C-alpha cells in the first residue's frame, strides 16, 4: 500500500475553559459510539450532556488525574483526540488507563492515532505508570492492530470486550 505523507499536525492539551473544545470531544465520543454500535444504541447509551460532563470530569483535578490531548491541523482545526487517566487497581496500585481515541474519518490512515498514542504513552511513562490498559470491542480489529504494533497484547476477554495491556516500567 502506498503510504501517504503524515498530515502536519500539532498535539496539545485541551483548553479546559473552552466550551467549544469540550463539546467537540463529547460529540466525537458520541460519533465513536455510533460507528461502533450504531446510532440507535449509541443515543440510548449516553446523552450528549452526559458525555460533556464526562469530558469535564476528566478535566477536574479533584476528581481524577487525566489528560485530554487534541490533534490540530495546520489551520488550527481539531481533527482528533485521545483521553487517558490514572486509575488504581484493587490493591491500590496506580496504572495508566487509556480511555478513548478518535480521528476524523477523512484523516484516518495517516498515522494520527499513532501520534496521539505515543503522546499518551509518554505522559503515562513520565507519571511512572507500570502499565497501560485499553478496553475495546473484540471485533475492533483496526484498533487492536494499531495497539498491537505498539506492544499491547490481549490480557483479558469478557463477552464481546478485550483488554489490551502494555507493560511500561
Ligand X SMILES: CC(C)(COP(=O)(O)OP(=O)(O)OC[C@H]1O[C@@H](n2cnc3c(N)ncnc32)[C@H](O)[C@@H]1OP(=O)(O)O)[C@@H](O)C(=O)NCCC(=O)NCCS
Binding site for ligand X (CB under 6 A): 3-4, 6, 32, 35-36, 100-103, 108-114, 136, 140, 142-143, 145-146
- Judged by beta carbon, residue 12 or residue 128, the one nearer ligand X is 12
How many alpha carbons fall within 13 Å on the CB side of residue 155? 14
Round to whole Å and give the CA distance between 94 and 158.
22
- Judged by beta carbon, residue 94 or residue 140, the one nearer ligand X is 140
Q: How far is the CB of 137 from ligand X (least distance, A)?
A: 7
Q: How far is the CB of 61 from ligand X (least distance, A)?
A: 25
- Judged by beta carbon, residue 62 or residue 151, the one nearer ligand X is 151
How many alpha carbons fall within 13 Å on the CB side of residue 49? 0
- Extract the C-alpha cell encoding 116: 496521539
The 10 Å CB-count burial string (b at 16+, else e) for 85-106 is: bbbeeeeeebbbbbbbbbbbee
Q: How far is the CB of 92 from ligand X (least distance, A)?
A: 27
- Judged by beta carbon, residue 99 or residue 124, the one nearer ligand X is 99
Q: How far is the CB of 9 from ligand X (least distance, A)?
A: 10
Of 82, 110, 115, 123, residue with least CA distance to 10: 115
Amino acid at each position: 500500500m502506498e503510504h501517504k505523507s503524515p498530515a502536519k499536525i500539532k498535539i496539545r492539551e485541551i483548553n479546559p475553559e473552552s466550551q467549544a473544545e469540550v463539546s467537540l470531544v463529547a460529540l466525537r465520543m458520541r460519533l465513536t459510539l455510533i460507528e461502533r454500535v450504531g446510532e440507535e444504541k449509541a443515543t440510548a447509551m449516553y446523552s450528549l450532556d452526559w458525555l460533556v460532563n464526562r469530558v469535564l470530569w476528566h478535566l477536574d483535578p479533584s476528581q481524577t488525574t487525566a489528560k485530554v490531548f487534541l490533534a490540530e491541523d495546520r489551520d488550527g482545526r481539531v481533527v482528533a483526540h485521545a483521553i487517558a487517566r490514572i486509575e488504581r487497581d484493587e490493591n491500590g496500585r496506580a496504572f495508566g488507563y487509556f480511555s478513548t481515541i478518535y480521528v476524523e474519518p477523512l484523516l484516518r490512515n495517516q498515522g494520527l492515532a499513532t501520534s496521539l498514542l505515543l503522546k499518551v504513552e509518554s505522559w503515562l511513562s513520565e507519571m511512572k505508570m507500570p502499565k497501560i490498559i485499553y478496553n475495546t470491542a473484540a471485533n475492533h480489529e483496526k484498533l487492536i492492530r494499531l495497539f498491537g504494533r505498539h506492544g499491547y497484547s490481549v490480557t483479558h476477554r469478557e463477552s464481546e470486550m478485550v483488554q489490551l495491556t502494555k507493560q511500561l516500567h
